[in-house]
Structure 1
């Protein structure tokens, strides 16, 4: 039996065995090498970062309306969270949305799997280079690999009209709070953020209300940026309603602009 070798994705490449480096591109980008090394290395690194943006924009430019689903890579098949993710992916696809995940196992796989079960649906995975092996799951129609987290995060936001977070760990929390910050600061508008699993998220919401709102760190209306549900169809309805509201707003803005130009000068 052939002994398995360590493996890592690096952008569009896969390396194994002795070719697997000891650090990731993100680690090397954020490291301080010495008093002058960065002058010679970082400008060239910018070109690679630029190439990742160009590749991501090119691959995803023609996606239909899409929703990003976040959640733990450690969720096992057969668990209630996995089944919820699969039902959610299917329901989003049936509503006409492409489903975007991080492309890995667990909840990501379940949402991609549910979307893949709907004829004509688009199941997308945006992968990331990690120090440990994490292959693109088998239910992704379009998979794009990234070296840098911040490039990948830009793609999640740019090509999604909403985020739905299932139970997850640090990565899920990172993506959740980045989305909330973008909505709170109006960097993105009419962008619903839905938490699925009231029992799992209940403690976090209590802390937000008590420690953040209770001490004036956020405004009362900031709580309205978060929707919580245990129902898959309710989660999809929140996304659809936000889409309709966004469409009505655009129509009203266009009508107002046309009326302004139609007025005699």
Structure 2
């Protein structure tokens, strides 16, 4: 999490694992450190004999003796919050197996993902200011964790509708796109949900494998086309694919509990899930340093097109990032976003960074051309 720098404008040192804790403990001082979501119940002696002045402990369980000592030593302690289905201070993105823990034994409703959504709905209805604060702390922590992991990577976003079904040509095309982008050395990031988002994350997952794997895995997924009838069956099918073909390629998903009816797809290795959809939308687009691809979609995808276009139009994120719209008929006839995008871009730097293509196989070349 972001925190004010300590005296002297020195950047605070983040401590997010026991290994990092032990390395700092050798120095004899945690002064000015930010310790985040580390279970310190086994490190009581180290806490008792080291300097903790101006340290900040965020959600770090510790024994009562250690807690009293670090507070007396000048540390600021934000203790874990009991009874929550999530950790507001977490220091890393989620993993698919973490969000879906308990799926096989007790069904989706018992998973941390579903329970967190239920908590969010309940506390929002209550207007609980404490719950609102916890949601904000969580989203800031996840955003910070995302920045730490995406730094230096060439990230390309793939946007598209959640209604795209497994087993369709469109889904297979989006999967091929994700695979092509990953094989080109780009880091694929999506909105983390079902449909086109899942297909692109799945394609990145399949990147280390050959064409035979892609075809067979797509056939398995087609057995459960949508999440509508049963999230349990939909998610279980995805985990079946992961079990049959383990160690797939990495990608990122940025879903939101705001759209809790859309489950998180299990193919993104790193999942930055947010409570606030606005934070998630801007966070995804702002991190797509290598450009954004827009597959056919409806209102949500249209919004994302013009969120990205606004930043490119005003140059608020620096040099305009490439934007590639896929499916000429969709974006000129059905939802004519392309003509408006062209009109906005005319005479501006972003005009050299937009393209409309007919199909997904043209995307990698278009991105490369727009990046020149």
Q: Same fold (TM over 0.5)?
A: yes
Matched, 1:221 2:350: no
Structure 1 runs of 4+ with >3 Å offset: 4-9, 19-25, 44-48, 204-213
- Alignment TM-score, normalising by the size of structure 2: 0.51
The 2-side partners of 1:67 and 1:125 are apart by: 12
Offset at 1:202?
1.5
Residues 6, 20 of structure 1: 8 Å contact kept? no
The 2-side partners of 1:137 and 1:206 are apart by: 29
- Structure 2, unmatched stretches of 5+, are 1-105, 209-247
Matched, 1:105 2:205: no
In structure 2, the partner of 1:178 is 307
The 2-side partners of 1:159 and 1:147 are apart by: 18
Tell me the secondary structure at the aligned position of residue 68 of structure 1: strand
Change (3 A) 1:177 1:204: farther
The 2-side partners of 1:58 and 1:16 are apart by: 19
In structure 2, the partner of 1:75 is 164
Aligned pairs for 1:199-218 (under 5 A) are 199-203=329-333, 209=339, 213=343, 218=344
Residues 71, 167 of structure 1: 8 Å contact kept? yes
Larger RCO: 1 or 2 (CA < 8 Å, sep 6+): 1
In structure 2, the partner of 1:62 is 149
Query: Larger % of strand: which?
Result: 1
| Length, aligned pairs only | 222
In structure 1, the partner of 2:100 is none
Aligned pairs for 1:154-193 (under 5 A) are 154-161=282-289, 162-188=291-317, 189-193=319-323
Larger Rg: 2
- Structure 1, unmatched stretches of 5+, are 34-39, 246-265
Tell me the secondary structure at the aligned position of residue 100 of structure 1: strand
Tell me the secondary structure at the aligned position of residue 62 of structure 1: helix
Give the superposed CA RMSD: 3.5
Offset at 1:231?
3.6
Q: Which region of structure 1 is more displaced relative to structure 2, 67-76 or 48-57?
A: 48-57
Residues 142, 274 of structure 2: 8 Å contact kept? no
Residues 313, 345 of structure 2: 8 Å contact kept? no
Residues 158, 188 of structure 2: 8 Å contact kept? yes
